[in-house]
Chains A and B, each alone.
Chain A
């Protein structure tokens, strides 16, 4: 692979929280939603990001498009740092990076027809396009995502969730972006529709050569579409590897616990499966554990985990753990 399309280094998002009734000069409490995430994304590649609720998945995505302020670097292929760009300078890259949202209906303006919704980004980014050209592009895009031409004048509420998500995808792709960020694009959809939308996305990706960041909390959904997968926990990367390697041979105890929780659609295999229970809740991101953030819920945790934070190894299969290894290595916990 050649030059990365986007390389993110040490991305951090910190929210300052003022409690109600605090005086203005009191020091705010800090919520570290994303603390030091790095990865590279190559053209045409799909990076899956998984994690529990509150692990910082969506915040990470939003930081890349300046929807939340962040520190660190996110370098686009031409050398521009997306985090540091001014609003005006960012405008040039808006067309290159588009986003698909979780709730398809909420992401569409209820007062606009489908045609207007899909045409709107064209009005911003391709101002010299004539009315007829714009219309033909919109129609081509609708056709591409599987919407019927006679639906162009309908309003969003007349569509089902799956169709609405197709409209959202069409709006994102009509400006021919290089990177598509999908923030849980199928979580709000029925399972049968999920498959359709995912197939559509991977088909579009193949045909258009898109790079994709695909966020989900459903591991099986991510497995299907991703080339590489990143596991987030409390705003930190736990494991980052090729999809096959991560699902076939998970090294981090957190990844292993997540994978063991995925139901297998085969009763025999499901019964034989060893579930690694995760006790307790996600610790508060305002007061993260010292050392390894996962240690409070980890079966392998030892003293060193509380003292030093394990760095993500810089290999093709990166793990941030003091005691990485396959499931069996977790001494005595798994019955043979």
Chain B
């Protein structure tokens, strides 16, 4: 099948199978996404992050944990020798550490999204759909979580669970679901009283079926957008925990921990703390741009 006919097959207004209709729908979304160049930059950054994380072993020229010669290779500035971004106080190649650190960053982002999104969706749609005291109880619990600043609450959880990257992930997930629950509840409230939900109920569909089959898919796009926009915040929180010594533990090449280690030498060896900071900045920006672009194409309310 040539490229032209594939384009036509996807845009056909008479899809012959459910798969073709789905793919066509996705293709149309992609076409409108593609026109937004900032969003494409964001997508490019996120894809690059994933690729770097996948092929970290191939890309990184040095070991991220074992340093070089402590007498000759400490604090080499960027672009000296084979060290693209220089070396740190333990003669480790900063570029290699950042490349390996992308794995940790991605791990945090993906796991938090996988843990927090379903919790938020479940709580929000249940509260919104059933209303009454279910709504009151669930939303007050949500409010309790929202009442604390995120990093402070995460700090408290990590302090209780003990430092480490896994506990940091759990703590961030526990602190990041409430906004999704709020959002899902708001969406559910607008959907709950629409005729097609009444129709489903009249057909005898159970509450679980309505929640899972009708309400959740409609909440999903706005929650996905919100999660994508939150990714930057998640990365920053993870970095913040790392910076405070409660996230990833040395010698793990976590970006926040790297900044913390480098800040002692900020005046004389600025690159040690700056390079991981730049990495955090670029990746956060990428997720924000991607989220903005997704909102433009996925959110039916923002259209037109």
Contacts and interface: CB of A to CB of B under 8 A. Distances in A.
Interface of A: 65, 67, 90-91, 94-95, 97-99, 101-103, 106-111, 113, 115-116, 120-121, 124-125, 150, 153-155, 158, 168, 171, 175
Contact of B218 (A99, A102, A111): A111
Given A101-B199, A111-B217, A113-B21, 10 more contacts: A91-B204, A99-B199, A107-B195, A107-B199, A108-B196, A109-B218, A153-B17, A153-B18, A155-B25, A158-B13
Contacts of A120: 200, 203, 205, 213
Given A109-B196, A111-B217, A98 B202 contact: yes
A102 B195 CA distance: 9
Contacts of A154: 13, 15, 21
Nearest to A104: B195
A65 B214 CA distance: 20
B71 interface: no
Contacts of A175: 203
Contacts of B205: 120, 124
B202 A99 contact: yes
B32 interface: no
A50 B133 CA distance: 38
Interface in B8-38: 13-18, 20-21, 25
Contact of B204 (A94, A168, A171): A94
A106 B201 CA distance: 14
Interface of B is mostly: helix
Interface in B190-246: 194-196, 198-205, 209, 213-214, 217-218
A110 B203 contact: no
A150 B16 contact: yes
A124 B206 CA distance: 9
B203 A121 contact: yes
A115 B18 contact: yes
9 contacts: A67-B201, A95-B204, A107-B199, A109-B200, A109-B214, A120-B213, A153-B16, A153-B21, A155-B21
A150 B218 contact: no
Interface residues of B, number: 25
A223 B205 CA distance: 34
Nearest to A99: B202
A153 B20 contact: yes
Contacts of B13: 154, 158
A121 B205 CA distance: 8
Contacts of A95: 203-204
A221 to B, nearest CB: 20
Contacts of A116: 18
Contacts of B203: 94-95, 98, 120-121, 124-125, 171, 175
Contacts of A153: 15-18, 20-21
A50 B17 CA distance: 43
B13 to A, nearest CB: 8
Contacts of A111: 217-218
A161 to B, nearest CB: 13
B14, B17, B20, B201 pick with most chain A CB within 10 angstroms: B14
A227 B297 CA distance: 50
Contacts of B217: 111
A120 B200 CA distance: 8
A127 B77 CA distance: 70
A121 B196 CA distance: 12
A206 B18 CA distance: 34
B299 to A, nearest CB: 13
Nearest to A168: B199
A113 B218 contact: no
Nearest to B200: A120
B287 to A, nearest CB: 26
A49 B17 CA distance: 42
Contacts of A67: 198, 201-202
Nearest to B14: A150
A171 B199 contact: yes
Max chain B C-beta neighbours (<10 A), residue from A97, A102, A120, A168? A120
Given A95-B204, A150-B14, A110 B20 contact: no
Contacts of B201: 67
Contacts of A124: 203-205, 209
A154 to B, nearest CB: 7
Contacts of B17: 153
A121 B199 CA distance: 10
Contact of A110 (B18, B198, B218): B218
Contacts of B21: 113, 153-155
A175 B14 CA distance: 27
